[in-house]
Copies of this chain bind each other. A is one copy, B any other.
Amino acid sequence: MTMSLVSILELRHLRTLAALHETGSVSRAAKRVHLTQSALSHQIKALQSHYGLSIIQRRGQAVELTDAGKHLVALAGKVLEEIQATERGLAKMSQQATGSLRIALECHTCFDWLMPLMDAFRQHWPDVELDLVSGFHSDPVKLLEEGGADVVIGSEHKRRRGIVNHPLFRFEILAVLAPEHPLRRKRILHAADFANETLITYPVPEDRIDLILNVLKPADIHPERRTAELTVAILQLVASRRGVAALPSWGLKNYVDHDYVIARRISTHGLWSDLYASTLTETASRPYLRDFLTTARNTCFATLDGIIPLE
């Protein structure tokens, strides 16, 4: 096994390697770069035989990067970042670096990852007017159309002329209980388990709460509700046994690790929700929006546990 005569390495390979590193699995990485698992397998094989080195190693079920793989991943990180940077530079030169990015949040918990992202964005695009559109909005699509916001982050919106849904990621919603809660024995909670509980939610209508919409309502179960604005407030209420909540898995890790609350799967295969960023078609082509989306995905996949790529 020896190297071939010219370098076959392309950015595509580096993008794959980066995804592989982030996801720790070939099939997840494939989703991440919008290719099939087979395509990645072939890519990896080509690289391996090119360099005469194995890049990944099967450790039981999971794949692990070898030393060589880690070198290439490090390269990928550097190179892809440099490319992003110069592409931002080019966007500035083509005078497409100005405009506004007013973000409306349908998903309250998303504050968690949005804040650091917005900081980074401000650095990269100093001339884009960045804002958070606060408050609840009954019709976010109308908000986009009327120019009240440039992006809505939330669930998918029905296909509609002039509106694009950019997939972000899929995440699991877990039930959150006080550590001493009687339901702690059950590994998985079902609709019936919520019958006599108080459900603590963000102050939004029922049809915006996945647990109610997809689990409780179909089972004709209508627990009491109590609302709180902030995630920490909800968790505080749960911990002090005022009720139970349902929150994205990623935001819970710290609290669960410190035994402040416990988390349980909802229904057999879990309650999953898909997150999208919706914009006008017009807005979708702006470089800074594209940059916002890719860095949003990148940082989310890098920092949030248990999320999976969409599409």
Binding site for B on A (CB under 8 A): 2-5, 7, 9-12, 51-53, 67-68, 71-72, 74-75, 78-79, 82-83, 86-87, 89-91, 93-94, 96, 284-287, 290
Say yes or no: B285 contacts A2, CB within 8 Å. Answer: yes
Q: A4 — which chain B residues lie within 8 A by C-beta?
A: 285
Say yes or no: B86 contacts A3, CB within 8 Å. Answer: no
Say yes or no: A82 contacts B75, CB within 8 Å. Answer: yes
Q: Which of the residues B2, B52, B86, B284 comes within 8 Å of A72, measured between beta carbons?
A: B86
- Give Cα distance in the complex from A11 to B80, angstroms: 11
Say yes or no: A7 contacts B90, CB within 8 Å. Answer: no
Say yes or no: B68 contacts A78, CB within 8 Å. Answer: no
Q: A52 — which chain B residues lie within 8 A by C-beta?
A: 94, 96
Number of copies of this kind of chain in the complex: 2
Task: Given A94-B51, A96-B52, verify A75-B67 contact (CB < 8 Å).
Answer: no
Q: A284 — which chain B residues lie within 8 A by C-beta?
A: 5
Q: A10 — which chain B residues lie within 8 A by C-beta?
A: 10-12
Say yes or no: A285 contacts B53, CB within 8 Å. Answer: no
What would 13 A/B residue contacts be, using CB atoms closer than 8 Å? A2-B96, A3-B94, A3-B287, A3-B290, A5-B284, A5-B290, A51-B90, A52-B96, A53-B90, A67-B93, A68-B93, A75-B82, A75-B86
- Give Cα distance in the complex from A52 to B4, angstroms: 36
- Give Cα distance in the complex from A145 to B2, angstroms: 21
Say yes or no: A83 contacts B53, CB within 8 Å. Answer: no
Tell me the minimal C-beta distance from A165 to chain B in angstroms. 13
Q: A290 — which chain B residues lie within 8 A by C-beta?
A: 3, 5
